[in-house]
Structure 1
């Protein structure tokens, strides 16, 4: 691994746990970097569902996937990640990727919020297959970031340890509220 930024770090750890060629969800498509990563993981046989509420995110992701010849691998959905269960069946997903916060280059007022983020994580857990993995890139700061971070971490802390393994990482010696990569594995 060449980069220790949260997304690169999370991608590497995600790849260690998730079977290539599976079904994946990008719950927060943003500019499409994670959607591209998941489409590459999907390979010839897999599928990616990507969600965002911003038209700008959908457009950027579509352009990115077209540029890399990956658009056929993905369903890009202009809807909230809280609605994932309307599109994908429970116990059918190998991996889910969340990158909370705001759209880089977009309106910072349009950011993920604590209540809906926790709701989306809870929905995602129902969608995961046994053995499936959820990656969460949790940021803090801004108007709602600390509240969102605290609520997500509190929710993860309370998950039943007989059903889930929760691993939370920290950039321990970094200042200014560094992001937190977290992973949830649904036990089989």
Structure 2
């Protein structure tokens, strides 16, 4: 069976992340990706996880504690647009993941924004190691979602093919705007 966008995002990350790597969860949410990344990098690696909602930090901290993964994570109650100022400039990142849209089971008025996503992408691209990947799972079936999808598509298309490969993955015959996955890989 074909993988969902979420399943495929994890497959793409497993292919490149190794024990000891530094990675980013740009949209912490309920902590599922943060925990997944923490398992991959192990106790010698580091996961920087960002979210603007306090509930995301509470949910993620609880999940990490239950799994014994808090040692290799830094939870940041701030937006991913602060990556440039938060992660040291000389830090080489192996991967990052975004789930763009809103936090499930929370206030649907609090959504990710095109301008902050662009700032985050700029900061990540500057720190991305060779063979590193940035995964963006774009949920766009809400007000504001189409604008962010357009930004990610345009941003990805403009990356020079000599330096980056970009993949999109989506189901085109499903109802209710299934998410679209983008994978940016540095050559």
Q: TM-score band (shorter)?
A: over 0.9
CA contact (8 A) 1:51 1:79 kept: yes
Note the residue ranges of structure 2 that are not aligned, 5 or more in a row: none
Q: Write the distance in 1 (CA, Å) between the matches of 2:51 and 2:169.
A: 25
Moved more, 75-84 or 174-183: 174-183
Query: How far does residue 21 in structure 1 lie from its aligned partner after superposition?
Result: 3.0
Please state whether the residue corresponding to 2:133 is helix, strand or coil.
Answer: strand
Is 1:94 paired with 2:70? no
Partners of 2:113 and 2:148 within 8 A in 1: yes
- 2:38 maps to 39
Contact 1:88 1:127 in 2 (8 A): no
Moved more, 127-136 or 69-78: 127-136
Distance 1:110 1:95 in 2: 25
For residues 53-100 of structure 1, give each alpha carbon's deviation from its aligned partner in whole angstroms, at most 9, with x where no partner exists. 111111110000001100111000011101112222345111111111
Contact 1:89 1:127 in 2 (8 A): no
Aligned length in residues: 186
Instruction: Tell me which residue corresponds to 1:117.
Output: 117
Given that 1:32 and 1:60 are in contact with CA atoms closer than 8 Å, whether structure 2 keeps it comes out as: yes
Alpha carbons 2:50, 2:75 under 8 Å: kept: yes
Distance 1:87 1:130 in 2: 21
SS of the residue 1:60 aligns to: helix
* Structure 2 counterpart of 1:81: 80
* Superposition misfits of 4+ residues, deviation over 4 angstroms: none
Deviation at 1:111, TM superposition (A): 0.6
Matches within 5 A, 1:10-29: 10-29=9-28
Provide the alpha-carbon RMSD of the alignment: 1.5
- Partner SS for 1:106: coil
Q: CA deviation at 1:176?
A: 2.6
Offset of 1:3 from its aligned partner? 7.9
- Give the CA deviation at 1:173: 2.5
Structure 1: 5+ residue stretches without partners: none
Partner residue of 2:131?
131
3-state SS, counterpart of residue 17 of structure 1: coil
Give the conservation status (yes or no) of the 8 Å contact 2:16–2:94.
no
Matched, 1:68 2:61: no
CA distance in 1, matches of 2:40, 2:16: 12
